[in-house]
Homo-oligomer: A and B are copies of this chain.
Amino acid sequence: MKNSKLKAFIPFFYLVWSDDLLTNTEFLTLQKFILSQSWLSNEERENLLSKLAVSSPPSREVVDHWKFEIETVIQENPSVKSLFNLSILLSEMDKIIKDQSAAFVQLEIDLGISGEEAMGNFKTLANTFTSKDQTNNRFEIEKLTQILDGKQAAIIKKVKSVISRPEFAYETSTDTAVYREKVYSWCKTLADENLGNMAYPKQYGGGENIADYFAIMETLSYHDLSLVIKFGVQFGLWGMSVQSLGTEKHYSKYLKDIGSLQLPGCFAMTETNHGSNVKGMETTATYNHKNQTFTIHTPHEKAQKEYIGNAAVHGQMATVFAKLIIGETDYGVNAFIVPLRDANSTVLEGITIGDCGLKMGLNGVDNGTIRFDNVVIPKENMLDRFASINEKGEFESPIPSDNRRFFTMLGTLVGGRIGIPRSALAAAKSGLTIAIKYSDQRKQFGPEGGSEVPILNYRIHQRRLLPLLAKTYATHFALQYVTKRFIAKNESEMQEIESLAAGMKAYSTWNTTAVLQECREACGGKAYLSENRIDALKNDTEIYTTFEGDNTVLMQLVAKNRLSEFRKSFGQMDAMGIINYVYENAKTVISEKNPIVTRKTEDAHLMDGEFHLEAFQYREKTTLASAAKRLKKLIDSGLDPYDAFNIVQHQMIDVAQAYLERIVLEQFQEGIRLIEDQKSKEIMVKMCQLYALSQIEKNKGWYLEDGYMEAVKTKAIRKMVNQLCWEIRPDAVSLVNAFAIPDSCLAAPIAFLKH
């Protein structure tokens, strides 16, 4: 194009031939524009139209030359901001072109390529702020690790050193038999290191340290999760059932051998037909006074014990739960020690073992089914702490109600509801460490003409991972609290603590499922390769939401427990009375539920921990009162309570969730209050803000429905969540490094990329 006036069209030609989004319609628009410009001579018009012939496109060299001309002009005039200004410059400030301002601007609009955005196509080596964001160290990682480990630092260090030994290299065989034996031998090593018997009394060789026991469970979970579950079955379920349900004679006979893994055993509660409703189990233990024995029997196939860990291969004995029958009377579920195999691993007569076979995960654990065909065991094998049979052959128990006795027994076994959520927490930490370290190094896409940027610089990627990281930190502090409460529990708190542990088991395991799902997707194809371990983490923990009680069932229990506390307060009040009650109990909050507060959006307010906690507390109280009110109304209207509870199940989940979220936030805030190191405190405060605000954002439908917040506020909160993610991003790698997971456990190659 020698005619400099015509050069005004270069940007448009370049765009229609190079832009991936423009379609035939744009060609037509440009052709029409050229045809309609009366200041063009016929020849000029022909010339211009020839550049737009779809049947004979410009050569690549021509397009490149256009680009070169444009870039040259931009380099000389870096401040050029619109396509039309570019056209003027290219035309060497041609007067005719200048006069066509309105027409050209309209063309830009018609083509949908107006504004500065279109100019982005021509800028080279862009120095965007998205590109510049990077990892930074703004706090001392080791100090934060110390805070997380707390008093258990020593045992955590010991466990890490054991599982980092060469013999703990991950098993890669897909042969289940090989994997099971490897896991068993790892358990042996842990037993030899006196880690298995940590919770047992000293007089039976134990460490008498429950806090350390839970820290062991959690730390082991950085390694293979089959190992953790096998460990938990042997030393937790099997050993603790003997300790919690048995008496002195059982302790002295079994505990030492259990702790050393001389006596591998099982915890045989669940039956095929009775999982969640385990109270309905059908295995029987019939007492024979003459022989002083019990006969253990599986009445039909669906009453077999199922999913029992250690059963398929290694278990020599089992704590078997069965209905105790004396004469014609059924005394409800009690526990008995039943031998399964002899010392040579031969299955004993009357016992039939099935293998659960391949599972979605945890294939290093030998889950099996157990059936009993009139297996006779001596009377002393009854675990008789809560019920026994006296010399006369009569049933005796301090708890006459069968139900109540059974739930009391279960209550002593609640340790699993601490161990599992803590194991889940560790798995979430592993997943986040892998995903965040990868995202910090993995580069993809970038500004026009610039280099590719780490995917963690993308806002959506931050949104996917950082609120989950905050929630995982929050869960860490909450589980520390639950553990402490559990260890220091006394009789009067039992019910509250059992409910809290059940709820936190659901909370933590659901978090882990969500975290690992997001980590898998966020790491793309790499996370699908088993070598990167998201596979194992995800599939092994998948059953955690079912283990130790189905999460949804547990949430119903937690909510019922919350209600039974609440009901005592309002009793027979009418609807108005209940509403008053709620307001009485939420006075601090109510004072805020006025137009000024519901619309308050200053940063200082939104970031205020008190605002967060009040919002959480308000939700907790309101969902509880509302479920109570609804239930009462349904029952008063003549509905069977069973039906009424069914109708409100959905609300009950909200009640439990709001309760747990309040606990988690409260404990995260309390944990932070105790931090002395200033920099650690600052980053934890940010994480706590992110946790609180992202939960409020998740629940914004509820807050808006209730009127506790108005739209202007929930929108401001969304923006703040984005902002916090952006601010935390440079600390993200340090935050996962603070989990201090051994490299040999992490193992995933993508966690160790260096560019």
Contact = CB atoms under 8 A, between A and B. Distances in A.
Interface of A: 17-21, 23-25, 54-55, 57-60, 62-63, 105, 108-112, 114-117, 120, 123, 126, 128-130, 172, 174-176, 270, 273-277, 280, 306-307, 329, 331, 356-361, 395, 397-404, 407, 443-448, 450, 452, 457-461, 463-464, 491-492, 494-495, 513, 517, 520-521, 524-525, 527-531, 534-535, 538-539, 542-543, 545-546, 550-552, 556, 560-561, 564-565, 567-568, 571-572, 631-632, 635-636, 638, 640-644, 646-647, 649-650, 652-653, 700-701, 704-707, 711, 714-715, 718, 722
A651 B197 CA distance: 53
**Most chain B beta-carbon neighbours within 10 Å: one of A126, A277, A459, A707:** A459
Top-3 shortest CB links A-B: A109-B571, A112-B568, A701-B701
Given A525-B543, A649-B460, A126 B640 contact: yes
**Most chain B beta-carbon neighbours within 10 Å: one of A112, A359, A642, A700:** A642
A694 to B, nearest CB: 12
B444 A275 contact: yes
A542 B530 contact: no
A722 B650 contact: yes
Contact of A17 (B63, B404, B543, B552): B404
A284 to B, nearest CB: 17
A272 to B, nearest CB: 9
A612 to B, nearest CB: 18
A25 B360 CA distance: 45
Contacts of A123: 640
A398 B711 contact: no
B706 A400 contact: no
Nearest to A63: B400
Each complex incorporates copies of this chain amounting to 2
Contacts of A63: 400-401
Contacts of A538: 360
A55 B399 CA distance: 10
Contacts of A542: 520, 528
**Most chain B beta-carbon neighbours within 10 Å: one of A360, A461, A495, A534:** A360
Contacts of A535: 358-360
A635 B130 contact: no
Contacts of A126: 640, 642
B459 A650 contact: yes
27 contacts: A19-B401, A21-B561, A23-B494, A57-B397, A57-B398, A58-B400, A60-B331, A63-B400, A109-B571, A110-B571, A112-B568, A112-B571, A115-B635, A126-B640, A129-B643, A275-B524, A307-B525, A359-B528, A359-B529, A360-B538, A448-B642, A458-B649, A460-B556, A525-B543, A525-B546, A701-B704, A705-B715
B109 A568 contact: yes
Nearest to A387: B60
Given A174-B175, A521-B546, A635-B116, A357 B277 contact: no
Given A110-B571, A528-B546, 4 more contacts: A19-B404, A21-B561, A63-B400, A360-B527
A538 B270 CA distance: 25
B492 A130 contact: no
Contacts of A331: 60
Given A275-B525, A360-B535, A115 B552 contact: no
A635 B718 CA distance: 21
A512 B535 CA distance: 18
A679 to B, nearest CB: 28
A276 B444 contact: yes
B492 A399 contact: no
B539 A360 contact: yes
A460 B650 contact: yes
Contact of A120 (B359, B444, B640, B649): B640
Contacts of A567: 112, 114
Nearest to A707: B711
B640 A460 contact: no
Contacts of A398: 54-55, 57
Contacts of A452: 277, 280
Contacts of A397: 57, 60
Nearest to A274: B444
Contacts of A361: 528
A684 to B, nearest CB: 25
A525 B105 CA distance: 65
Contacts of A524: 275-276, 546, 550
Contact of A636 (B116, B175, B306, B447): B116
A378 to B, nearest CB: 24
A117 B642 CA distance: 9
B643 A130 contact: yes
Nearest to A464: B552
B528 A400 contact: no
